[in-house]
């Protein structure tokens, strides 16, 4: 078999496309060596006090037909939440045997390409409406209708609990949604851009992205962090439990990252968000002690490999403290990341070329005649 000269072999260096630049974007940049996440010219730490709508305005800037300011986005999302709520009731029964993320996938599939509301607005508005209704349905509770006057984070929590959320909880959820809104060309964002490049439309692109997020190697729930804290149980058990785990060659949940070689900047931002949530959480004080001990032990046991706290550790603490059940954590992640997915789809559509790489054939050739 002859190899086409323009096709580079899939060596171990390119497996998983690691290190391959597959798109140009103005949206975000992950600097793993320096521990920086830059979103359209801003370090993540400087965006921590922003509302989710403000961050969406930044991401969508110059990509939507008409420029949308933060308050216009807030109003548009509120109206769109009310509109998509009409889809919830007829579909909830069909989610009975599905996991929360499968149920979200099903409900998002009901968004019609013919809709005259801008699709990026509808997609971002839909996730909290659907995710809250799914979480309530799993507890036998009816969905709560959106309140168009509220911001996305406040309404998400109100639709989840049925009562208005505290200002601290809204601020913490806003911080979480901003923190996870975009993160370079991660697997789900790449998926969204590939689908967008076929001109399949925004809804198909973001549903594909959700399917990629669902995998345990990507958006798999930070639920295991809570399981770990639960299993440790009490302060006297922290060091022996962690030592046993490492002695068995097992991983400590919420530590380590493929790209960040220093501390994940998202972990620090979310740690800051827990400061106002201590009264609402059974875990935060205890988790800080577990984190300190884990970092000490990891530095001792793996001196050649810097292993730091990752975003999942504090995600678990923030989302649990504001009232989300652990099995809905992936859907809340999708609520934030939908901002990034929609921006990447708009960016891809604005300067499109079909994304169509090649594979290297390693199967048998037909027998010679």
Which of 251/360 has CB closer to ligand ACO?
A: 251
162: alpha, beta or left? (left if phi > 0; alpha if psi -120 to 50): left
By beta carbon distance, the residue nearest ligand ACO is 256
Minimum distance from CB of 67 to ligand ACO (Å)?
A: 32
The closest alpha carbon to 338, from 170, 37, 127, 75, belongs to 127
Q: In 10 A of CB 260, how many CB atoms?
A: 25
- Segment contacting ligand ACO by CB under 6 A, of 94-102, 106-114, 168-176, 300-308: 300-308
Residue 214 interacts with ligand ACO (CB under 6 A): yes or no: no
Which of 176/255 has CB closer to ligand ACO?
A: 255
DSSP class of residue 143 equals -
* Binding pattern for the stretch 40-69 against ligand ACO, x by CB under 6 A and - elsewhere: ------------------------------
Minimum distance from CB of 256 to ligand ACO (Å)?
A: 2
Exposed / middle / buried, residue 246 (Cβ in 10 Å: 0-12, 13-18, 19+): middle
| Binding-site size, ligand ACO (CB under 6 A) | 14
Residue 144 interacts with ligand ACO (CB under 6 A): yes or no: no
Which of 241/255 has CB closer to ligand ACO?
A: 255
User: Of these residues, 312, 320, 344, 347, which one is catalytic?
Assistant: 312
Give, as ranges, the residues between 237 and 266 that touch ligand ACO (CB under 6 A): 251-258
Among 310, 328, 331, 348, binds ligand ACO (CB under 6 A): 310
Give SS3 for 38: strand
Reading the block at residue 296, the tokens are 């000490």
Round to the nearest angstrom and report the end-to-end CA distance of the chain. 15
Minimum distance from CB of 21 to ligand ACO (Å)?
A: 20
**Nearest-angstrom CA–CA distance, 313 and 255:** 7
Q: Which residues neighbour 365 within 8 Å (Cβ) at sequence distance 6 or greater?
A: 1
Which of 65/216 has CB closer to ligand ACO?
A: 216
42 counts as catalytic: no
Can you spell out the DSSP letters for 160-186? HHSSPPPHHHHHHHHHHHHHTS--SS-
114 counts as catalytic: no
Exposed / middle / buried, residue 173 (Cβ in 10 Å: 0-12, 13-18, 19+): buried
Among 305, 352, 358, 360, binds ligand ACO (CB under 6 A): 305
User: Cβ distance 43 to 30 under 8 Å?
Assistant: no
Which of 302/360 has CB closer to ligand ACO?
A: 302
| Active centre residues (catalytic) | 257, 312
Note the residues at the interface with ligand ACO (CB under 6 A).
251-258, 302, 305, 307, 310-312
């Amino acid at each position: 078999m002859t190899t086409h000269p323009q096709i580079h072999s899939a060596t171990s260096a390119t497996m998983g496309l690691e290190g391959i630049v597959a798109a140009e974007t103005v949206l975000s940049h992950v600097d793993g060596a320096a521990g920086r996440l830059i979103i359209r010219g801003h370090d993540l730490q400087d965006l921590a006090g922003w509302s989710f709508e403000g961050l969406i305005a930044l991401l969508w800037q110059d990509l939507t037909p008409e420029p949308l300011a933060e308050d216009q986005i807030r109003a548009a999302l509120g109206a769109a939440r009310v509109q998509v709520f009409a889809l919830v009731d007829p579909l909830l029964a069909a989610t009975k045997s599905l996991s929360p993320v499968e149920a979200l996938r099903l409900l998002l599939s009901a968004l019609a390409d013919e809709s005259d509301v801008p699709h990026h607005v509808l997609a971002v508005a839909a996730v909290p409406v659907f995710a809250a209704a799914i979480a309530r349905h799993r507890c036998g509770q009816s969905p709560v209708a959106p309140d168009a006057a509220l911001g996305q984070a406040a309404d998400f929590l109100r639709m989840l609990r049925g009562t208005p959320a505290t200002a601290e909880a809204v601020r913490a959820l806003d911080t979480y949604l901003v923190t996870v809104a975009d993160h370079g060309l991660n697997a789900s964002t790449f998926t969204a851009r590939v689908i967008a490049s076929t001109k399949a439309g925004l809804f198909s692109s973001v549903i594909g992205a959700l399917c990629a997020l669902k995998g345990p190697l990507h958006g798999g729930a930070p639920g295991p962090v809570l399981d770990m804290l639960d299993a440790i149980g009490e302060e006297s058990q922290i060091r022996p439990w962690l030592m046993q785990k490492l002695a068995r060659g097992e991983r400590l949940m919420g530590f380590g990252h493929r790209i960040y070689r220093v501390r994940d900047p998202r972990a620090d931002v979310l740690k800051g968000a827990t400061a106002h949530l201590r009264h609402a959480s059974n875990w935060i004080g205890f988790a800080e002690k577990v984190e300190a001990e884990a970092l000490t032990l990891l530095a001792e046991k793996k001196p050649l490999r810097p292993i730091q706290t990752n975003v999942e550790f504090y995600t678990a603490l923030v989302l649990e403290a504001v009232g989300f059940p652990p099995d809905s954590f992936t859907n809340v992640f999708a609520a934030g990341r939908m901002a990034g997915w929609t921006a990447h789809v708009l960016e891809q559509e604005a300067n499109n070329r079909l994304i169509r790489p090649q594979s290297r054939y390693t199967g048998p050739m037909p027998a010679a005649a």
